[in-house]
Amino acid sequence: MKFGVSPSPFLWCKKVEEFNNWIQEAESCGYDAIFIPDHYNLPVPDFPSDQLMDAWSTLSYVAARTRSIKLGTCVSPLPRWIPSQLAKVIATVDILSEGRVIAGLGVGLFPDEFTNYSPQGYLGEPKERVERFLEGLQIMIKLWAEDRVTFNGKYYKLKDALLLPKPKQKPRPPLWSGGLGPRMLKITAKYFDAWLPHRGGPGYPDPKKYEEAVKTVKKHLKEYGRSLDNFTFALLGWITEKVTDDIPMIEKYVQAGCQYYVVEIPTTPPLSDGKYIQAIRRFAKEVIPSFRRR
């Protein structure tokens, strides 16, 4: 059982020094990875939408300030990006971090984000977003592995595209999927190295639904001739005020098949620099040891 940590997507620190202290603490506490949420707009009334940092720019800073902890997104909405551009960004951060990137990808959910920041200028129906996601994913994998790429899809086209330098990790950085629907679970099993859903909100998996999805992914992995040993079942959750209360909840997901838990540190109520550090320190001391030997 491994544990990652994710700061709130909203800008919680007043100074860069506070964020630097937090990432240093995350690495020293033994977390496996820092995951940054990738959002430009979120429909949360309590927080202004302009208080969101760019995830991959932030991860490049984290890479420079750390030595061993892995770096990922939870997750980047691929249809909001130009796929070849995102492939280039991820390759760059992977090189700068000496091969520590985890590429978390999803289809996206929030209309304002896509209206204002996507190339197409609209969110689109789920079917279109999944189709864009699949085409974009194939483009990224090809650009990381092949010398030149020509691609003629419904939504994206490339002609003799060249991406250099390639990522540090070979054949590519690990891919983690945040997808939930039946088709996304099948795509996850075919192309990805891990599944990372969020456990909060409508339509997201409680332990029973999580277990059912794990079984579905395992079935598809077998159909594609892929080994379970090379696939990770993860979950993005959050920390409670009394961190030991998280143990029985995490235990339910472990029994349902979870192998990796990413704990998000909320800003409700807002936490000062000291309390934000204290939160991940307490979780590492009081929760993680209960699962270390699993």
Measure the CA–CA gap between 74 and 85, rounded to whole angstroms: 18
Task: Identify the structural domains of the chain with CATH numbers, from first to last.
Answer: 2-290 (3.20.20.30)
Residue 42 has pLDDT above 90, yes or no: no
% the chain with pLDDT above 70: 94
Mean residue pLDDT across the chain: 92
Residues 123 and 111: beta-carbon distance below 8 Å? yes
Residue 249: the pLDDT is: 94
Q: What is the pLDDT of residue 202?
A: 58
Confidence tier at 266 by pLDDT (50, 70, 90): confident
pLDDT at 75 over 90: yes
197 versus 240: the higher-pLDDT residue is: 197
Judge whether residue 48 has pLDDT over 60: no
Give me the pLDDT at residue 243, please: 87
| Predicted confidence (pLDDT) at residue 285 exceeds the cutoff of 80 | yes
236: left (phi over 0), alpha (psi -120 to 50) or beta: beta
Q: What is the pLDDT of residue 290?
A: 93
Report the pLDDT value the prediction gives residue 41, as an integer from 0 to 100. Answer: 83
pTM of the model: 0.95
Q: What is the Cα 87 distance to its own chain's centre? A: 15
- Tokens 């990770």, residue? 232
- CA-closest candidate to residue 37, choices 206, 280, 241, 262: 262
Distance of CA 51 to the CA centre of its chain: 19
The position carrying tokens 């200028």 is 121
- Of 7-11, 186-190, 220-224, where does mean pLDDT reach its minimum? 7-11
Choice between 149 and 203, residue whose per-residue pLDDT is larger? 149
What do you get for the CA distance between the two ends of the chain, in Å?
5
User: How many CB atoms sit inside 10 A of residue 53's CB?
Assistant: 19
User: How big is the CA angle at 263 (ends 71 and 277), to the nearest 5 degrees?
Assistant: 85
The predicted pLDDT at position 273 comes to 58
Q: What is the C-alpha to C-alpha distance for residues 42 and 34, in angstroms, rounded to an integer?
A: 21
pLDDT digits (tens, 9 = 90+) for 152-206: 999 999 999 999 999 999 999 999 999 999 999 999 999 999 999 998 765 778 9
If we measure between CA atoms, which residue out of 150, 246, 138 comes closest to residue 192? 138
Distance CA 212, CA 256 (A): 8
The values of phi and psi at residue 198, to 5°, are -95, 140
Where residue 242 falls among pLDDT bands split at 50, 70, 90?
Answer: confident
What is the reported pLDDT for 282?
Answer: 93
Per the model's pLDDT, the better-predicted residue between 210 and 268 turns out to be: 210
Relative to beta strand 149-152, strand 101-106 is unpaired
Where does residue 22 fall: left (phi above 0), alpha (psi -120 to 50 degrees), or beta otherwise?
A: alpha
CA dist 258 and 249 (Å) reads: 12
**Do strands 149-152 and 157-161 pair parallel, antiparallel, or not at all (unpaired)?**
antiparallel
Tokens 């891990």 — which residue? 194
Q: What is the pLDDT of residues 18-30, one digit of tens each?
A: 999 999 999 999 9
9 pLDDT more than 90: no
What mean pLDDT comes out for the span 241-251? 91
Where is pLDDT greater, at 151 or 14? 151
**pLDDT surpasses 90 at 11:** no
Q: What is the distance of C-alpha 139 from the center of its chain?
A: 19
